[in-house]
Chains A and B, each alone.
Chain A
Amino acid sequence: MESFSLILAIVVVTALAFDFTNGFHDTANAMATTISTGALKPKVAVAMSAVLNLVGAFLSVEVANTISKGLVDETGIRPEVIFAALVGAILWNLLTWLVGLPSSSSHALMGGLIGATVASAGFGAVHNGVLVTKVLLPAVAAPIVAGLAALFATRLSYTVGKKAEGKAAEKGYRAGQIASAGLVSLAHGTNDAQKTMGIITLALVAGGSIAPDSDPPTWVILSAGLAIALGTYIGGWRIIRTMGKGLTELAPQQGFAAQTSAATAILASSHLGFSLSTTHVVSGSVMGAGLGRKGGVVRWSTATRMIVAWALTLPAAALVGALAEKVTGLGDWGTAVVAVFLVSSSAAIWKLSRREVVNHSNVNDAEEPAGVVTTAIAAVTPPPASVPVTEDLSATVPAPTTAESAPAAPPAAV
């Protein structure tokens, strides 16, 4: 890591920031159902997921080695292009988090990469066939595969488990849910932390810092693992709420079926070479489990919003990535402008999110996240309206004296 230029350092930091948003965004995949069914306390769930993500990051470098190869031509990629791609991916991740919709971080990253590459090297540099087979088809297949599996599993579980009730059954489903959620977390760590490792490695190769075709250096593996674990621990509570409560109402049995189906589909797909996005798999399995119970309902309005977000992910991230690439192409000051834009828009999104805080304490409250505005108003108005009233009531006795002395004071002072 000699010859470590400033732009390379910026890319590495941005990649780690993306990794953080990735963990943050995807905590829901592993833990939403575990939290909503009450199998684990929210804080415990995200802590467990974070640890397993960190462990997962160290298990293999297979994915890291494939992310950089295949989708776009490596030759002629400048670090600025990767930086632009990451900007697109991070902004899309933050935006979908703000509205509480689960969307694939991998799609955001690929979209950013594609947009930035097209802006930099033209449409010829993107492999269209790879785009369809690796991105579009899996996005459609994933929720169907996992959804159907979860649906049948839930049916079976309700049929076979008719006689299962009481403490023992409760404990059993709880343990099963925790185990399968743990497996999803572990698989997520191996998959998604490695995407960042792949990106950083790609940037290091592009910047001429390490030889092409090298494995990710240890510091890359360590920092990527830590970034994703930290993001996971902080937890994207908004998305957890949508996934755990917004899509459908899950009983422990259904949560277990959903999570088992998700873990199986993720492992089967990555092992059989047909990679599916964790987000799509889990969303599908949650809906399937919801439909599997007699009388179970899926809130299609939430599902529709989610699917719209999926469809937009790639083009939106690509657009931002392309614009960012164009601006960085203007020179070093252009890169600086993009960096400032990234930081300020992230800060703006964070500020917006504070209007209606969702955290571990209220993650299971709302059934359906009403529009941001409605909930914000509902959350903000009652306290200021009620607090002064009670104060006035309790303060009525001493009030006359203070009320009289207060207006009297200014003239005395004059």
Chain B
Amino acid sequence: MFFRLFWTFLKIGTFTLGGGYAMLPLIQKEVVDTRHWIDEPEFLNMIALAQAAPGIIAVNSAIFIGYRVYGWRGLIAAVLGAVLPSFCIILAIAALFRDYKDLPAVEAVFRGVRPAVVALIAAPLFKMTRNALRATTPTWDAGSSSRSQTAPANASQDAPSQATTATWDAGSSSRSQTAPAIASSDALLPKKRFRLSTFDFRLLYLLLPLTAALLIWLAGVSPVLIILCAILITLILTALHTHYMRKRLKTRSRL
């Protein structure tokens, strides 16, 4: 396991050209698709944590995955694998060929690689969006569906897996009497995703990446700030929503 982690991150480290986000398609392919060490929702959460923490995103990701998969030893293997190729190559360049970057052949190769890296970062977005939607179960109830138009972050009762969906349904059976039919029926059939007859509230979640991308791209907002704001707003909205639901349950039990 130690060597498998080391080898995987050595490969990833060697072919990361352009830093940071260029590493993500490689990690996704090797760690999520091929080895199945972590699943895709967790992969996306990992990116958020690696971005929010200080330091180099690639190293942060290696630390998280290594530790998640194989504890301490995994952490050391993954970090060594991710750092060694670039360390050795830079050392060789600094010591031996300082005019490496002036070679016309190197510049030509990189002219070809740069647009390819952009495509590699952008292309998996479709699949990732679909999988992120799939991992989210829409279980809105009457209380939040009206408010969710303005705040897509306010999904208090989304369940990450079918198992928790079942417990939620059992626990709130009294509540679902007033909830719209969409919420309960979709929660029972999480596989049936896009029906034209009913609006899937999960699609509101897509406003999140859209806003985040536009804020970073056009307004130059720092991604770290966006992640921290997203966490803060979600916690506040969840607190408000839980408070609201509790109050409603109380008034109903009094009736």
**Physical interaction between A and B:** no
Which residues of B pack against A, CB within 8 Å?
none
